[in-house]
Amino acid sequence: MHYLGYSPQAVVGESGRLTGAFLVLPLTSMTVQWAFTTAALITLTAALALLP
């Protein structure tokens, strides 16, 4: 049953892909933020360890 060129499966697939894209963005930014935080902590620890 195709009406307006869209089948229910196509609509569900499209919204699923959009939802996936919107979910990936915060996850990616969270991972980047976590990576930066970890790098900052490692740098800070190394700087403190190297201090006399």
Tens-binned pLDDT, residue by residue, of the chain (52 aa): 555 666 777 778 888 888 888 888 888 889 999 999 999 999 999 999 988 7
Instruction: Please list the alpha-helical segments (H only) found in 1-52.
Output: 8-50
The structure tokens listed for 32 are 């980047």
Report the pLDDT value the prediction gives residue 35, as an integer from 0 to 100: 94
d(CA 30, CA 11): 29
Non-local CB neighbours of 8 within 8 Å, separated by 6+ positions:
1
Report the pLDDT value the prediction gives residue 15, as an integer from 0 to 100: 83
The neighbouring-strand residues paired with 16 are none
Count how many residues are written for the chain. 52
Report the pLDDT value the prediction gives residue 40, as an integer from 0 to 100: 95
